[in-house]
Amino acid sequence: MIPAFIAYILVVIVVVALAALHFVVATVIVGVVLGLAVVAAFVVISAWIFMTYELASVAVVTELANPMSAISVALRRGFARA
């Protein structure tokens, strides 16, 4: 989530800089395009984290007898695919 948050901060800085220079059309275009890109990044990262959580939940039932080790193994598997 940190890279997406950094991208959000950069978008805000660019939009404020363009607005300060009174480039209205460029401000709107950059704000909309980069804003949608940041929202898409947040959605993708959130879906990836949720999928890994769901896989870890299933691992408790299907994998090992110890729930903590099953979750840690499933989380390692889910995040290793990045």
Decide if pLDDT at 5 tops 80. Answer: yes
Q: Which residues, other chains included, contact 50 with Cβ-Cβ below 8 Å and sequence gap of 6+?
A: none
Q: Give the rounded distance of the alpha carbon of 14 from its chain centre.
A: 20
pLDDT at 64: 65
Calculate the dihedral angle through the C-alpha atoms of 15, 17, 21, 26, rounding to the nearest 10 degrees: -30
Task: Give the separation between CA 63 and CA 70, rounded to whole angstroms.
Answer: 6
pLDDT at 65: 67
The residues spanned by each domain of the chain are 2-80
pLDDT at 16: 93
Question: How confident is the model over 23-82, as pLDDT tens digits?
Answer: 999 999 999 999 999 999 999 989 988 887 887 778 777 776 677 777 777 778 777 765
Q: Give the rounded distance of the alpha carbon of 11 from its chain centre.
A: 15
pLDDT at 48: 85
Judge if pTM exceeds 0.95: no
Decide if pLDDT at 4 tops 60. Answer: yes
